[in-house]
Structure 1
Amino acid sequence: MLEHGRQFFILFISPVIGLIMEAFLGKRTAICILVIASVLLFPSLCGYSFITSWGYPLFAFCGLSSAYSFFSRELETNSSKIASALIGTLALFFVLGIGFFFDGFSGSQTVERKWDIDNYRIEYIKDQGFAGSPRMNYELSKYALVPIYFKKEETTLDNDTIQSCVVNFTNSGIFFDKCSGVIKH
């Protein structure tokens, strides 16, 4: 989940938003938000990814905020609710902040080029580590039945020294012609 660290900073304020949800939304609405967020996050446990990078933080934020609203309903006074939300925000900041701090040293991945062909997504990725030259990869992903998810099928290293147009995904048995943008099985 730390793959998109900058977007996950929004999770820090989920207790405060949960407190606001508790004040303005009914219990039934909070349950609906929690269930929908959980259902949309479940495929990630099975190896699927969202087609956009903001899917994880958005649905995790909605789920955490609505879950916190249930906790907040059990507290007696408004001052204890506010104090609890602030302590929760600070706790998330310190616990998750450590992970984000170290994630900053891990390097970065940048999609240099992307092709969406048939039911597949192929990305040419520049993987720049902490030091040294970048590693260039081709990543083959297949869209799921619900097209907001895709599953990574295979990654192959770009070791093209003769400027060939064909990228061979050996495990999947797929050949991709990057010059014409055609997939061959």
Structure 2
Amino acid sequence: MSNAYISTVVKGSFGYLDPEYYRRQQLSVKSDVYSFGVVLCEVLCGRPAPVRMVERRQMSLAEWAKTCHRNGTLNEIIDPCLKGKVAGLCFNKFVEIAMSCMHDNGIERPSMADVVSELEFALKLQRSADDDMDFNIVENNICEDEVAFIKDKEGSGKSEQSCATDESIKLVSETIFSKINNPDGR
């Protein structure tokens, strides 16, 4: 006897099931892409796929997110824990990926290989922004006395003060030269 399993009745949870399945009663590889797009929306919004609305009716998170995206109000339903922690370019890319996964027409959805590739790119955008942020934090922590010291060296002759400490100099050099494998030199 064969171990193959054939399903004649598809079961799925509300909010995750491909809308094309409702119309055609057929699943495709793009049906899983749709469901994954819903999971991406869950991550983005910090809410489950079936959303309870004020009037005690259920609504699909996918439809709500797509409507908010069309109206330019997606930022209003984003998980508050993510606000200010995700780089703008990464956020935009993540939203683009989620929305492309949830196209009503399966042919317009990307393949899962493309989704993975795009998510890896979004991660690179975030890491790049994090690296830039680390540098900007260090760069913006220069105190006014250091600026006065630098200006004084240019010829004003008034002040020789500096608030730079060994720790702050080490922090700056570690940030700038973090990619050097052997920081001790030759």
TM-score by length of 2: 0.30
TM-score by length of 1: 0.30
Q: Which one has the bigger helix percentage?
A: 2
Q: Which one has the bigger strand percentage?
A: 1
